Structure 1
Amino acid sequence: MHQRRRAAGWLLAGTAGAVAPWPSVAQDGVRGDVGRQSRFTNLVSADQVEQAATQQYGQLKREAGGQGALAPETDPQLQRLRAIAQRIIPFAAAWNARAKQWRWEVILIRKKDLNAFCMPGGKIAFYDGLLARLQLSDDEVAMIMGHEMAHALREHARERMGKTAATRLGAGLLSSLFGLGDLGDAALNIGAQLLTLRFSREDESEADLVGLELAARAGYDPRAGVTLWEKMMRAAQGAPPEFISTHPAGPTRVRDIESALPKVQALYADAPRPPKVYGPPPKPAGTANP
C-alpha cells in the first residue's frame, strides 16, 4: 500500500491520497426503491455531526490503542478491509455528494464482538470477531462494508438525531444546538450519541438495499448478502447481532435481500472483479461453524 496513504492514517476520497476517479453512475440499481432524504435531517447540521463523529472516532482509536486492541498498519485483515473499502468508496458520491469531501478511514479493533460501523464523514471500524467468528469471504465483508457506508451516506444518524430533537428536546434546545445560539453541553453529547444510536427497521432495510448496490458496483457478488445474514443468524442463535438488532431477522431479511438481487446482478456482471489477496483470519479455537 502506498506509503503516503499509510502515513496519513489511510485517508481516501477527498484527499491527495485518493486512488480512483469518482465514476459517473447510471440511475439504475435500487435507487427507485429508496425514498428521499428525510426532512428531519434539516434540523441538524451535517458539519456538526461529521465533526463530532471525527472526534468520537479519534477517541475510539486512542482507547483501542491504549488497550492494545488497535490493529497495526501491517495487519493483513486491516489491509484486506481497506482494499475492499477502496473499491466501494468511488461509488459513494452517487448517494451523497458530501462523500467526495469526506476523509475516509478504516480501522480494525481486535475484540471478539460481532460489530462494525461507519460514522458520519466516512469513519469505518470493524471488530475482528466479526471476521474470525463468521469466517467472512471478501464478498460478505463487502456486504457489511456497503451496508454500514449506506447508513452514513443516507445520513441516518443525522435523521434520527433530528427526529429526537423535534419530538423531545423542544424549540429552545434546537435553537441552542443547531446554530441559533450557544452550543452548550448538549452539543458535546452528539459524538457519544453516534456510538449508541440504534437505527430503525426502515433505516436498516434501506442500508441493505444501498449496500447491495455499492458492493455490486465494486465487483462483489451481491448473493453474498444472503450467506452473510444466514451466518449471522446462526452465530447469534436466531437473533441478529446488537449492531443490527432493530432489523427484521431470519427469513424476512433473507427474503428481502433475495428480492433485490435481480436489480443489482447486472451491475455486478459489468464490474471488474477484485483481486483476492487475503482470506479470513484464523478461526478462534472452539468456535462452532457459523
Structure 2
Amino acid sequence: MLKTFSLAAVAAMVLVACAQSPTGRNQIMLFDDSQLSSMGEKTFDIMKAETPISKDAKTNNYVQCIASALLRVTPEKYLTNPWEVVVFDSEQVNAFALPGGKIGVYTGLLNVAENQEQLAAVIGHEIAHVIAGHSNERLSTNQFVQSALALGDAGTKAYGVQYQQEIMTALGLGAQLGVTLPFSRTHESEADIVGLDLMAKAGFEPRQAVNLWQNMAAASSNSMPQFLSSHPIPQNRITDLRAKMPEAMATFNERKKAGRLPNCSR
C-alpha cells in the first residue's frame, strides 16, 4: 500500500510540474506572481522595520551601482520591475532578493566580497532566485509534501497499519532528506549558474565568482555534511562554476570588447 501511495505521489508531482526553470529543469508552481510579490513586500517591510538600515551614502551608492548593472540584463519581464535595494547595517555576511523586486544586502558581506565583481556574484545569485521562481517552487513543494504526508497518515490509520506512528516519522524524515533539502541545494546551484550568466552579461568578470566562494569557505565554520545541508558546500559550488566558466567568459569578453564594463567604486 505504501509503495502504491509513493508511486501515486510521484505521479501527482509529475502532473503538476508544468513550469521550467531558466536551466530547463521541471518545477512545481502552485502560486501566482501576485501572491508571491505580496509575501515578499510584506516580509521586506518587516525587515526594514526591525533591522538598522545603513545611512552611509558611499556604501549605498556602491551597492546600488552593482545591483542596477545586474538588473539591466535581467529578462524583459523584470526590466520594468520597480526594484528596491536596501543596505542593512549588520555584520551578517549575507544578501537576499525577494519576489516583488526587493533586494537586501548586509554590510557584513562587504568584508568578504572584496570587489565589485565578487559582490555582483552574490547579488546576481540572489536575483537569480527570483528569476527562477525558487520561492514559488519551495512553497509549492512544501505544500505538496505536507499534503502527501497527510494522505499517508490518513491511509495508514484507515487500514490499521501496524507501527503507524513509526512509519509516518520515517516518511517525514525521508521527505526532509529526499525532497526538501535537495530541492534547496538544487535552487542554490541553479542560482549560482544563472547568477554567473547575469554578472557576465552585466560586464563583471565571472572568474571572481570562484574567488568569492573561496573567501566564503575561508570565513565559514560550517562543517555540516552536504546531504544534511540546504546549501552546497563551497567546493562543489566552485566546481560547478568552473564547469560553466568558458561560456561565461565568452559572454564577458564580448561585453569587454564593446567597452561596456561597470565601474562601481566603494
Rounded to whole Å, the distance in 1 between the matches of 2:199 and 2:207 is 10
Residue 37 to residue 149, structure 1, CA distance change in 2 (3 Å): farther
1:128-139 alignment, distance < 5 Å: 128-132=107-111, 134-139=112-117
Q: Deviations over 1:77-97 (max 9, x none)?
A: 111111011111122125xx2
- Change beyond 3 A, Cα 1:238–1:85: same
Bigger helix share = 2
1:84 to 2:66 alignment: yes
**2:92/2:109 contact within 8 Å kept:** yes
Tell me, yes or no, if structure 1 residue 108 matches structure 2 residue 87. yes
SS in 2 for 1:91: coil
Which residue of structure 2 aligns with residue 119 of structure 1? 98
Deviation at 1:100, TM superposition (A): 3.4
Describe the SS at the equivalent of 2:87.
Answer: strand
**Equivalent in 272, 277, 282 of residue 265 of structure 2:** 277
Give distance in 1, aligned partners of 2:126 and 2:207: 17
Matched, 1:267 2:246: no
Question: What TM-score does the superposition give when structure 1 sets the normalisation length?
Answer: 0.66
Alignment of 1:19-168 (within 5 A): 34-36=23-25, 38=27, 40-41=28-29, 43-64=30-51, 69-72=52-55, 74-93=56-75, 97=77, 99-132=78-111, 134-168=112-146
Separation in structure 1 between the aligned mates of residue 264 and residue 139 of structure 2, nearest angstrom: 39
AA aligned opposite 1:216: A
For the Cα contact (< 8 Å) 2:192–2:237, is it kept in 1?
Answer: no
Provide structure 2 residue ranges, at least 5 long, that are not aligned to the other structure.
1-19, 149-179
- How far apart, CA to CA, are the structure 1 residues paired with 2:262 and 2:242? 23
Q: CA deviation at 1:238?
A: 5.7
Q: Which runs of 5+ in 1 are unaligned?
A: 1-30, 171-196, 279-290
- Give the match's secondary structure for 1:273: coil
- Following TM superposition, the consecutive aligned residue runs of length 4 or more in structure 1 with deviations greater than 3 angstroms are 237-240
Alpha-carbon distance in 1 for matches of 2:265, 2:138: 38
1:138 to partner: Cα distance = 0.3
Whole-angstrom CA distance in 2 between matches of 1:223 and 1:247: 21
Whether the 8 Å CA contact 2:113–2:215 is kept in 1: the answer is: no
Distance 2:49 2:202 in 1: 31
Q: TM-score, normalised by structure 2?
A: 0.72
Amino acid at match of 2:239: R
Contact 1:238–1:250, Cα closer than 8 Å, also in 2:
no
In 1, Cα distance between the equivalents of 2:47 and 2:237?
31
Q: Tell me which of 228, 236, 246 is aligned to 2:230.
A: 246
SS of residue in 2 equivalent to 1:124: strand
In 1, Cα distance between the equivalents of 2:186 and 2:21?
Answer: 15
**CA displacement at 1:115 relative to structure 2:** 1.3
The aligned residue for residue 4 of structure 1 is none
CA distance in 2, matches of 1:60, 1:32: 28
Which structure would you say has the larger Rg? Answer: 2
The offset of 1:33, in angstroms, is 8.2
Q: Percent identity?
A: 30
C-alpha deviation, 1:246, in angstroms: 2.1
- Relative to structure 1, the CA distance from residue 37 to residue 107 in structure 2 (aligned partners, 3 Å threshold; closer, same or farther) is farther
Change in 2 beyond 3 A, CA 1:50/1:32: closer
Paired residue total: 208
Higher relative contact order (CA 8 A, sep 6+): 1
Mapped to 1, the partners of 2:22 and 2:45 lie a distance apart of 35
Cα separation, partners in 2 of 1:160 and 1:276, compared to 1, 3 Å: closer
Q: Distance in 1 between matches of 2:47 and 2:70?
A: 24
